[in-house]
Amino acid sequence: MPPSPRKPANPRLLTLGRAVAARRAVRRSGGTFVLTNGVFDLLHPGHASYLEAARALGGAKGVLFVALNSDRSVRQLKGPARPILDQASRAYTLGQLRSVDGVVVFRGRRLAREIEALKPDIYCKAGDYTLETLDPTERAALEAAGSRIVFLPFLKGFSTTRMVERIRAAGDL
């Protein structure tokens, strides 16, 4: 009988405590800590392009950490049919990207607690956000941490929601 399949190891998936320790090491080395967050369900070229650009904001000694919405928080934000992939699968896929140095799953609807703990040098969001549309608690945590907030444009033509709609419209494949 073949061995049972196991979930692959993901050394880039960290607890918040381990991520804070990694953040301290980046600060000691003179590096730049960049943080972004999101669902990252059905990873596509728009995500990859965005994450590469976010990592580049940190320069040669920069690192990019992704705060990933837990399955529960995705359902709260996007409804009962999401996420398509569970948080372990999404974290694993993100962890395979060369632009991503660490992944932390957050369980709440908002990221203020993680921002307060990690104190990013740069916080990055996609271009559909503005300072005015950022969650006020997250924005306050970023301002208290002295984080620079950057909004990056979308790579046109890619959207997880549109991908899901196209798959549903295709019916049985």
pLDDT of residue 34 exceeding 60, the answer is yes
Residue 38 forms beta bridges with which residues? Answer: 68
Residue 160, classed as helix, strand or coil, is: helix
CATH tag, 16-170: 3.40.50.620
- Choose between 42 and 13: higher pLDDT: 13
The model's pLDDT over 79-116, given as tens digits with 9 standing for 90+, comes to 998 899 999 999 999 999 999 999 999 998 899 999 99
pLDDT of residue 2 exceeding 70, the answer is no
Backbone angles phi, psi at 162, to 5 degrees: -65, -35
CA distance 173 to 158: 21
Q: Which pLDDT belongs to residue 170?
A: 80
Q: Which pLDDT belongs to residue 58?
A: 97
Residue 164, classed as helix, strand or coil, is: helix
Percentage of residues in the chain with pLDDT exceeding 70? 90
pLDDT of residue 3 exceeding 70, the answer is no
Give the domain ranges of the chain.
Answer: 16-170
Q: Which of 1, 6, 122, 150 is nearest to 64 (CA)?
A: 122
Cβ atoms of residues 148 and 123 within 8 Å: yes
Q: Which of 149, 67, 47 is nearest to 108 (CA)?
A: 67
pLDDT of residue 7 exceeding 80, the answer is no
pLDDT of residue 62 exceeding 80, the answer is yes
Q: Which pLDDT belongs to residue 4?
A: 46
The model's pLDDT over 132-166, given as tens digits with 9 standing for 90+, comes to 999 999 999 999 999 999 999 876 766 666 777 77
Backbone angles phi, psi at 105, to 5 degrees: -85, 130
Q: Which pLDDT belongs to residue 121?
A: 98
How is residue 15 written in tokens? 């607890």
pTM of the model: 0.89
Q: What is the mean pLDDT of residues 50-66?
A: 97
